Amino acid sequence: MIFEKIRDCIMSRTNLSESVVTMQASLRDDLCLDSFDLAELGIELEDVFAVTIPDEDLIAFHTVSDIVTFMKNSTK
């Protein structure tokens, strides 16, 4: 459920298919998200999950899995 919401947020900002947006996908290398894209994604994720993502956590995300782990820990 968390992964699917994150995947949907990423897919809504890119032209990528579900098969590309995997848990192991690198945000920068595989999904080609730059710092501006990540900032916008962070804002959307904060709205979707009703959490605050500190800047230092946002820039530390390297893979989709990193975001999933953060959200699991933040929404307990």
Active site residues: 34
Phi, psi of 32 (to 5 degrees): 55, 40
Q: Is there a contact between 6 and 47 (Cβ–Cβ < 8 Å)? A: no
* 63 bridge partner residues: 26
Phi, psi of 65 (to 5 degrees): -60, -35
Question: Which phi-psi region, left, alpha or beta, contains residue 50 (left: φ > 0; alpha: ψ -120 to 50)?
Answer: left
